[in-house]
Chains A and B, each alone.
Chain A
Amino acid sequence: MLFLNHIYLIPLLPAFGAAMMFFFGRRLQKATVDAVCVGVVALAFLFACFTIVEYTHFAHGTGQPFQKVAYTWLGTGDGHLTFAKKDWTLAAFNVDAGFLLDPLSCIWLLFVTGVGMLIHIYSTGYMAHEGGYYRFFGYMNLFMFSMLTLILANNYILLFVGWEGVGLCSYLLIGFYFHRHSASTAANKAFIVNRIGDAGFILGALTLVWYLGSFRFTDINALARSGHFAIGDPVLTAAALLLFVGACGKSAQLPLYVWLPDAMEGPTPVSALIHAATMVTAGVYMVARSNAIFVLAPTAMKTVAIVGALTAVFAASIALVQNDIKRVLAYSTVSQLGYMFLALGVGAFAAGVFHVFTHAFFKALLFLGSGSVIHALSGEQNMRNMGDLRKRIPTTYKTMLIATLAIAGIFPFAGFFSKDEILWQTWASEGGAYRILWFVGYGTALMTAFYMFRLMYLTFFSPSRMSHEVEHHVHESPKSMTVPLVILAICSIGAGWLSWPHSLGGSANFENFLEPVFAREALVLEEEGKAAQLAAGEKEAEHTDNTEYALMFLSLAAAAVGWGMARRSYMNARKDYPEPIAVKAPPLYNLLYNRWFVDEGYDYAFTGRRKIGKVRLGVMGAGEAASWFDAKIVDGAVNNVGWVTRAVATLSTWWDKWIIDGVGVNGPAILARMISYPARLFEWGLVQWYALVMVAGLLGFGVYYVWK
């Protein structure tokens, strides 16, 4: 129990390496940096191996999880935080810094530390000529620490600590060459898109604690499997969907995948470790960990499956026409992650996890191999300028060929078993409810074979399109880079054999190992009376064996067809070779080459940088429009309510001035003046007027007396 009791050392060893780099890295020699950083990861790997061996003794096949709590992180004095739960009872929970080891985390632990160690060794060769050597290894170790915390956490909050940590390290490592504007922009994009997912994750975790009262996986699993909650419970569905949003962000599924292709700005070992083997699988891990919740929410499972399938085919379509070797691999990663989520969504959790396992090996190999090619070509990444490298860098060629055969799903390489298992489960799951997704997956498999062999032919086979400068300097990579390639190639061949399916006579060890983690929900599915897709796989009705063979044959056929099409188009690709899609359907080529204009779409819709005239577009534009509405119309209405008051005041003023004062007050005065006018005539002051009046009076007398 020695290793199990000190399981906290596994994440702490790389943390120690990162701390060393932080404090002393600048002053250290390259060799010292190598020894410290690669050493701690190698130690962590060995430690992990021994721990897993001890765990198998501990669990004796029951799959009982091993928990070790280091200390209570969040909680009041007596170790509890209280809050009101949904049914208004008081819940007391605490968040510990605790570690959980069960079959699921064993698998992840194994390949994360293993592939991590190989990539660290590779990086000593790849980054040998780059500046910032110690900084790179410091960040890589920090990443290993975060990822291991994520995997070994026993509750959602500690998992989230690791989750955020890997996001941070992704940002730091993508933006490693921060002097390049494109690199720092890509790092920002990765972090920001991840953050959107994180919001979903937090909401999901908090919904779960509000509803179920605990963050700990063991508690939640116990509650969920107790039968207390109905299938399709709305709160659990909401929580599951929110957690899946988090997974979409971290694992680059459909709406939130846009950061992964841009993340290729980072050094190639970063792409291999973070964006192929480990960080992007964190979403898959989290969903697999929460399988008890997802099983109770069929709507969420359907969503996961559909999003996964769509992502797979969408990303594969873009990869068909990309020219940058790393971009092709990035979209391939998104596509394969789609497969994993498709598997989780149809209920085949073990198949999904198995695909994660095999994918880690061959995708890391592909990325490291492409790094080797780029290293050999002095930095050239565009496949249009490669060719004829087969004889010149043979080790790289052979290992990449093995990886390509694996990813295309050719028997007996690793990818065949895992991909085939996923496709079979999709076809047969829940009595064929997901058959349409099988077709989507099948199309994706064909496309995968096509673009991967396209990559191989353009890079290694076709006549050389390299510039003379580059061609001169082509050289095989140093041992520090080729040895990890060879080891990963061996794994890519053999990893699939860990789960040789029953239909071909094997005993499906891998799925048996995982059975305890997923078994309970298998029972739930069966109790539903649905026709059988159990994640454990061993109780599956063997009556459909024939269908399974037929499907196996069909997927091999798809791989072969894809291979053949690629060979025909690209085997002899000379300079300025035409793309077959561009020749047959130029508008489609344009659409795929521009990645379905999704980035442009997001730019228009969300960044608020685009305007038509003065009007801002998208969500920010809606905000601006709302602000304008509030300032002009709503406030205008408020202001104009005062208009009525003003109008009344004006009326009142007029009334007072003209009617009251004019008529009422001045009127009598004017009247008096008018009436008195004749009377005033008597005292005008004009002498001649007086004389006239006198004469008029005299005349009057005269007239009177004459007429009398």
Chain B
Amino acid sequence: MVPITTFHYLVVAAALFVLGVIGVLTRRNVVIVLMSIELILNAVNLNLVAFSRMWGNLHGQVFSIFVTVDAAAEAAVGLGILIAFFRNKETINVDEIDLLKW
């Protein structure tokens, strides 16, 4: 049995982060993109908590509370933008959100 070190936590967090980035970059559905953004943020949270355990103090955990709050707010605002956009263009395909072109 391999002992679970901090390193393993960081790898998982990195993997989650990469998946999240890939989702942001490649998914067509805007809602999925928002979900991928949440995933990125949660990966960051996991990273912070792992470091908090490593250093033995609560700095990381406190930071992750802040990140979580930020994520929630961001989700709310993002969905609000999405709904406003949907009212305008009747679509949730991210490729079609290109009004702010040159």
Q: Judge: A and B partners, yes or no.
A: yes
Q: How far is the CA of A695 from the CA of B18 in the complex (A)?
A: 10
Known: A684-B98, A687-B97, A695-B25. 15 other contacts (CB 8 A): A682-B102, A683-B100, A683-B102, A684-B101, A685-B99, A686-B97, A686-B98, A687-B33, A688-B24, A688-B25, A688-B26, A688-B94, A688-B95, A691-B24, A691-B25
Contact of A680 with B by CB under 8 A: yes
Chain B residues with CB under 8 Å of A685's CB are: 97-102
- Chain B, Cβ-Cβ closest to A699: B21
With contact pairs A687-B97, A688-B33 given, residues A680 and B21 touching in the complex (Cβ less than 8 Å):
no
Complex CA gap A695/B94 in Å reads: 18
Residues of B within 8 A of A (CB): 21, 24-26, 33, 94-95, 97-102
By beta carbon, the residue of chain A nearest B36 is A691
How far, in whole Å, are A695 and B24 apart by their CA atoms in the complex?
10
Q: Could you name 12 residue pairs across A and B whose Cβ atoms are closer than 8 Å?
A: A680-B102, A682-B102, A684-B98, A686-B94, A686-B97, A687-B33, A688-B24, A688-B33, A688-B94, A688-B95, A691-B25, A695-B25
Whether B33 pairs with A683 at a CB distance below 8 angstroms is no
Contact present for A686 and B102 (CB under 8 Å): no
Q: How far is the CA of A680 from the CA of B100 in the complex (A)?
A: 12
**Chain B CB within 8 A of A692 CB:** yes
B residues near A687, Cβ cutoff 8 Å:
33, 94, 97
A683–B21 touching, CB < 8 Å: no
A682, A683, A684, A692: the one within 8 Å of B25 (CB): A692
In whole angstroms, what is the CA distance A688 to B98 when docked? 10
CB neighbors of B among A634-693 (8 A): 680, 682-688, 691-692
Chain B residue nearest to A686 (CB atoms) is B98
The interface residues of chain A lying within 8 Å CB-to-CB of B26 are: 688
Residues in B with CB closer than 8 Å to A686 are: 94-95, 97-98
Which residue of the partner chain B has the closest CB to A676? Answer: B102
Determine chain A's interface SS by DSSP, over half rule.
helix
Q: How near does chain B come to A75, taking the closest CB pair, in angstroms?
A: 104
Give the CA-CA distance A687 to B26 in the complex, in Å. Answer: 11
Residues of chain B with a CB closer than 8 A to A688's CB? 24-26, 33, 94-95
Q: How large is the interface on A (under 10, 10 to 19, 20 to 34, 35 or more residues)?
A: 10 to 19
Q: Which residue of A lies closest to B28 (CB)?
A: A688
Residue of B nearest to A698 (CB): B21
- Bound form: Cα–Cα A481–B33 in Å: 139
Minimum distance in angstroms from A268 CB to a CB of chain B: 114
Enumerate chain B residues within 8 angstroms of A682, measured Cβ to Cβ: 102
Contact residues of A between 463 and 509, Cβ < 8 Å to B: none
Contacts of A683 in B (CB 8 A): 100-102
Chain B min CB distance to A199 (Å): 93
Cα A682 to Cα B102 in complex, Å, equals 9
Among A680, A684, A691, A692, the one with the most B-chain Cβ atoms within 10 Å of its Cβ is A691
For A695, list chain B residues within 8 Å (CB). Answer: 21, 25
Nearest Cβ in chain B — how far from A681, in angstroms?
Answer: 9
Shortest C-beta distance, A672 to chain B (Å), equals: 14
Min distance, Cβ B56 to any Cβ of chain A, angstroms: 27
3 tightest A-B contacts by CB?
Answer: A685-B98, A685-B101, A683-B102
Nearest Cβ on chain A to B102's Cβ, whole angstroms: 4
Contacts of B95 in A (CB 8 A): 686, 688
List, in ascending order, chain A residues with CB within 8 A of B100's CB.
683, 685
Shortest CB–CB separation between residue A412 and chain B, in angstroms? 134
Residue from B94, B101, B102 whose CB has the most chain A CB atoms within 10 Å: B102
Cα separation A688 to B26 with both chains bound (whole Å): 7
- Report the bound CA distance from A178 to B60 in whole Å: 140
- State the CA gap A685–B99 with chains docked (Å): 6
A619 to chain B, nearest CB (A): 84
Q: Within the assembled complex, what's the spacing in Å between the Cα atoms of A686 and B96? A: 8
Question: Hey, which chain A residues are within 8 Å of B25, CB to CB?
Answer: 688, 691-692, 695
Determine the residue in chain B with the shortest Cβ distance to A681.
B102
Taking the closest CB of chain B, its distance from the CB of A684, in whole angstroms, is 6
Chain A nearest CB from B61 CB (Å) reads 25
Kindly report which residue of chain A lies nearest to residue B97, judged by CB atoms. Answer: A687
Chain B's nearest CB lies how many Å from the CB of A695?
6
Residue of A nearest to B102 (CB): A683
| A-side contacts of B101, CB under 8 Å | 683-685
CA distance A682 to B33 in the complex (A): 21
Q: Which residues of B contact A680 (CB under 8 A)?
A: 102
Interchain CA distance A680-B94 in the complex, whole Å: 19
- CA of A683 to CA of B94 in the docked complex: distance in angstroms? 15
Give the Cβ gap from A699 to chain B, nearest Cβ, in Å. 10
Q: Kindly state the separation between the CA atoms of A441 and B25 in the bound complex, as whole angstroms.
A: 126
Chain A: CB-nearest residue to B30: A687
- Cα A691 to Cα B21 with chains together (Å): 9
Instruction: Report the Cα distance A684→B100, complex, angstroms.
Output: 7
A691 to B101, CA, bound (A): 15
**Distance from A134 Cβ to chain B, minimum over Cβ atoms (Å):** 113
A688-B25 Cα distance, complex, nearest whole Å: 5
Residues in chain B near residue A684, CB distance under 8 A: 98, 101-102
A140 to chain B, nearest CB (A): 113
A685 to B97, CA, bound (A): 7
Distance in Å: Cβ of A427 to nearest Cβ of chain B: 121
Distance from A694 Cβ to chain B, minimum over Cβ atoms (Å): 9
CB-based nearest A residue for B95: A686
Rounded to whole angstroms, the CA-CA distance of A449 and B49 in the bound complex is: 157
